[in-house]
Amino acid sequence: MPRLILLIILCSFKSNLVAQTWEAGGYVGAAGYMGDMNPVKAYKLTDPAFGIQIKRNFDAYWVAKLNFMYGKVRGSDANSANAYQIERNLDFYSPITEYSVQIEFNLFRYMAGTDLGYDIRKFSPYLFTGVGSFSYNPMTKFNGEEIPLRLVQTENVAYKNSAISIPYGAGVKYNLSGNLTILAEIGYRTAFTDYLDDVSNRYVDFNVVPPASHLTPILADRSIVAPQIGIPGTQRGDFRPRDTYMFASFGLTYTFVPIKCPIF
């Protein structure tokens, strides 16, 4: 009898229990970057990336998500069609580790593993945005060695190796079977730093400013023409205040459905 009473109480809140579900899964894809070495190609993906996510589906439209993503981004002036960039001859690569909190909005009524009515769709496009924190560490190779550019201070700036980011993007999800959902997503991250690629401002006169390392003047100006283009005070970056990194992925998630009540 106590169990029956408990079941009746739970069933009185059936709509809320069914409407709010947890979801977890992972995804794989590719990462890319836009900044001083790739100023225009928003679609350029260069390296593998992967992630995991935990979601709280509040109803058929609104979803809150905890997201972890790891990947690598890179850029090289040698791959540019711009004559100035080719002469500048800078390059970098950096791991990216990101934690974020995001909000998703389904454009159609969608929730896997539930029975909320006849108008629940098998698929839905969705939009998302949020706030994140990421770590990075721009590197380059010189004489066969990996050099951490943040420590070299090529622009005489001691920037941090972490920053805030604003993720935003779109995707599509499809109810593969029961509680399983497959999804495809592309997202961009506005980084609150312009040193993801170690390039931002102007060339520094290291005859006046003491360099952080004996490699600093060499890695600050790696131009391949003579005389070198790194005249102190002249433009080194593109002067835009923030870099961007992006991620395109395919994923699979499983929805954990609350207790379902019998029909009396």
Report pLDDT digits (tens) over 172-224: 999 998 899 999 999 999 999 999 999 999 999 999 999 999 999 999 999 98
- Least confident among 90-94, 236-240, 248-252: 236-240
pLDDT level of residue 57 (50, 70, 90 thresholds): very high
Residue 70 clears pLDDT 80, i.e. is over it? yes
Strand partners, 128: 104, 169
Instruction: Give the closest residue to 255 by CA, choosing from 184, 186, 187, 183.
Output: 183
User: Would you kindly state where each structural domain of the chain is located, as residue ranges?
Assistant: 17-256
Amino acid letter for position 71: G
pLDDT at 6: 42
pLDDT level of residue 115 (50, 70, 90 thresholds): low
pLDDT at 111: 87
C-alpha dihedral (195, 199, 200, 206), degrees to nearest 10:
110
pLDDT level of residue 116 (50, 70, 90 thresholds): low
pLDDT at 17: 43
pLDDT at 117: 56
Average pLDDT estimate for 92-100:
98
Q: Which residue has the higher pLDDT, 167 or 122?
A: 167
Q: Mind spelling out the 3-state secondary structure of the chain?
A: CHHHHHHHHHHHCHHHHHHCEEEEEEEEEEEEEEECCECCCCCCEEEEEEEEEEEEECCCCEEEEEEEEEEEEEEEHHHCCCHHHHHHCCEEEEEEEEEEEEEEEECCCCCCCCCCCCCCCCEEEEEEEEEEEEEECCEEEECCEEEEHHHHCCCCCCCCCEEEEEEEEEEEEEEEECCEEEEEEEEEEEECCCCCCCCCCECCCCCCCCCCCCCHHHHHCCCCCCCCCCCCCCECCCCCCCCEEEEEEEEEEEEECCCCCCCC
- 171: exposed, middle or buried (C-beta count within 10 Å: 0-12, 13-18, 19+)? buried
d(CA 9, CA 259): 12
- Least confident among 90-94, 155-159, 177-181, 247-251: 177-181
Mean of the per-residue pLDDT values of the chain: 89
pLDDT at 20: 72
The CATH architecture of the domain made up of 17-256 is Beta Barrel (2.40)
Percent of the chain past pLDDT 70, that is, above it, reads 88
